[in-house]
Structure 1
């Protein structure tokens, strides 16, 4: 008698990391976390923080800290979807984090006044949050489709911010006052509606009108990318053109010189890489938008023109330059590692409306170099995508992300960028997105670079 045994089904194979890039798979992943961060960052007021904590922590900061924890745990396993292997963006973020920890350790090892020590502790927590979302985006967004999902959420959220800015500017109605959810409180910072030359200048959900203008200048290239490419993707383009207009409205209503400067450098980058036909349509659209703004808001264009024609007598320009002597003294005292991240703050110290000077004072040459390095690395990664890919849509997205990152790189010279949560979080999210796009492009290009397989039975010298 032959004994039979029930067959045991083989265990289902664990999905490989490569399979996570396939567009057919869905579910919560790093892209979901990055998209949630983008929506929370843009739509929750920058002045809204958790109640009951010893320091200010925004909802976006909390998502960033969770992203840092997710990234750390994901790299301890092979099943949570984090990408492995080298990536220049990740390396740049590591170097930046190391520099920030070094200056924090150097400052806290010596005596610091209690208030400055508290600010240093707070700042290092925020570094973990911002770097966490950068790493989460770099290693957690797997594939072009998931990256598009994150960037589309960012564009739509930016359009919503434009609507809030329009309500503040036109109706003097501040919607952000009604976003105080249970368990949160507003910090005692500047109001969302200010005035400049008899015109309102608004901040929407950001911390200051300057920040709103720079944020809108960073998002506009993404909105243009999806608007111009909608026909090739077989989808309606009107929705994306509406997003472009709303984001542009938010930029104009910020009445910010930094916003215009950011838009100018975006134009230089995009025009350098766009085909002639797209340049023409962009120029016509820009002129039409400016004419519409002049008709809808009389006097607005004159105020913007005056921001650049009266530079020699502008009090804000004079204020930005009067403290250079104080900065030079502080930089000379601790040239390499600075006096400590977050220890130079208002109202105890003079405000440096220049992030590069502030970084030199707080984190020294090493900290300032790594801060600039993460933006330069992100720009390099985005432009590298244009060189590696033959897909027009991917090449255009690489140019678009490079244009986005040029804005904070230049804008850091006009205001203390790291002091504002929205533009800082947005910068690190886009930096991480460039790392994700570079990895996806290299992976798509890899099969074409593999040598052809030899016929069966044929060997070469290397096989001996």
Structure 2
């Protein structure tokens, strides 16, 4: 017979170590309520939309469809369907009631429906009619994103999920752009996904030369779009960096994202990106406290010094884009077509000839969204474009004026600066022709609406206790 064991073997001790709870981990309170698992909601779908819109290369569209739709477009249409279904019930968690942002989105949608009806009322060539139909679908998808975020993202925690996804996705595409800039390595060539195909419409390469530098587009359709997107994402990343410690979270990860996005902005070598970040900086510096201004200025000086050391000549190239603006070929190309635009605007000044119907190479290219909107959608379309961004800015400033929470006030100021970027950069390129920056603008308009609901619906913070002992307890 086998002799009895005198004690546990090494295998028993190893198994016991695997079952043993670490000493530093607090034991669960048996009387505490179990934490409910967060179910997927509009914030989850919006976060997926952000990843699909920013990370998946813009030139990839779904196979087997009669029109070119990206996965992000399909998610936008699905969000619109979810929003419509949610408003037929009272049990799906969609917010009800009048809201300035939702009214502005409704006016935008009805206005473009009128323009589309006017466009298709008369004869159009088949190619232009197909593009008008495609543009109508994309407008519906963007409206679906904004409405779903506005009415479906409830509470600051879920709103943070959407915006943090925006920041992390911006850092990812900045890394991709950095590899394109430094090594000429285009990772988007290897990012083909099942069920997607490259579209034949996008003829712009991801890496373009400018003044001995690689001008990169990352996953976007053009380097200008990439730079403008980075200028809209940069202040959001900085917002989470400044307020991370208020939430009891490490700030390093958000400052890393801020630095990466700032690098992506520089790597686009784009005049529009510089104008965009300058407009954001103007808004933030007017609203920030003095101490934060000094911190931002110091960080900017350190960043620019690092760029000058690591990438010699890049700052000089960006400076020359503005110093030689009077003799720059790209500027002359943008201004020589004003006579063409004015002649076309005079034919249909109110409703235009149809959104998406004026395209290259069939027609003269307008690197100015205001001119292009007047040609395609008339004065009504221009009012809708300026109005939707201006409404988002006005509501954000209203939130800042009414809120007593420092984080909400800074987020509202940040969103104001972000929505100013499309209005400024629309004068330098055909902004609405690029889905990434257009979708980001509508997403942020919806975020403003969700922030307004959060500040109105949630109860005000409890008053702080008074007295010396209470002050010590609060600080603890």
Q: Same fold (TM over 0.5)?
A: yes
Per-residue deviation, residues 151-205 of structure 1 (Å, max 9, x unmatched): 0011011000110001101111100111111211112321100011121100000
The match for 2:382 among 368, 376, 392 is 368
- 2:202 equivalent to 1:181: no
Equivalent position of 1:113 in the other structure: 125
Equivalent position of 2:154 in the other structure: 142
The CA distance in 1 between the partners of 2:125 and 2:113, in whole Å, is 19
**What secondary structure sits across from 2:359 in the alignment?**
coil
- 2:270 equivalent to 1:256: yes
- 2:104 equivalent to 1:86: no
Per-residue deviation, residues 366-418 of structure 1 (Å, max 9, x unmatched): 11101111100100111111111101111111111111111111111111111
8 Å CA contact 1:103–1:363 kept in 2: the answer is yes
Gaps of 5+ in 1: 1-22, 449-464
Per-residue deviation, residues 298-329 of structure 1 (Å, max 9, x unmatched): 11111001100000110000000111111111
Correspondence 1:55-454 to 2 at 5 A = 55-188=67-200, 189=202, 190-444=204-458
The total of aligned residue pairs comes to 426
**What secondary structure sits across from 1:311 in the alignment?**
coil
8 Å CA contact 1:220–1:244 kept in 2: the answer is yes
The CA distance in 1 between the partners of 2:409 and 2:118, in whole Å, is 43
Query: What is the CA distance between 1:444 and its match in structure 2?
Result: 3.0
Per-residue deviation, residues 78-137 of structure 1 (Å, max 9, x unmatched): 112211001111111111111111111111110001110010011000010111101111
- What is the alpha-carbon root mean square deviation over aligned residues? 1.3
The CA distance in 1 between the partners of 2:457 and 2:401, in whole Å, is 14
> Scaled by the length of structure 1, what TM-score is found?
0.90
The CA distance in 2 between the partners of 1:199 and 1:407, in whole Å, is 25
> Scaled by the length of structure 2, what TM-score is found?
0.88
Query: What is the CA distance between 1:335 and its match in structure 2?
Result: 1.0
Per-residue deviation, residues 407-462 of structure 1 (Å, max 9, x unmatched): 111111111111001101111000100011011112236899xxxxxxxxxxxxxx
The CA distance in 2 between the partners of 1:140 and 1:326, in whole Å, is 44
Gaps of 5+ in 2: 1-34, 463-476
Query: What is the CA distance between 1:56 and its match in structure 2?
Result: 1.1
Equivalent position of 2:60 in the other structure: 48
The CA distance in 2 between the partners of 1:45 and 1:146, in whole Å, is 26
Query: What is the CA distance between 1:25 and its match in structure 2?
Result: 7.2
**What secondary structure sits across from 2:458 in the alignment?**
helix
**What secondary structure sits across from 1:313 in the alignment?**
coil
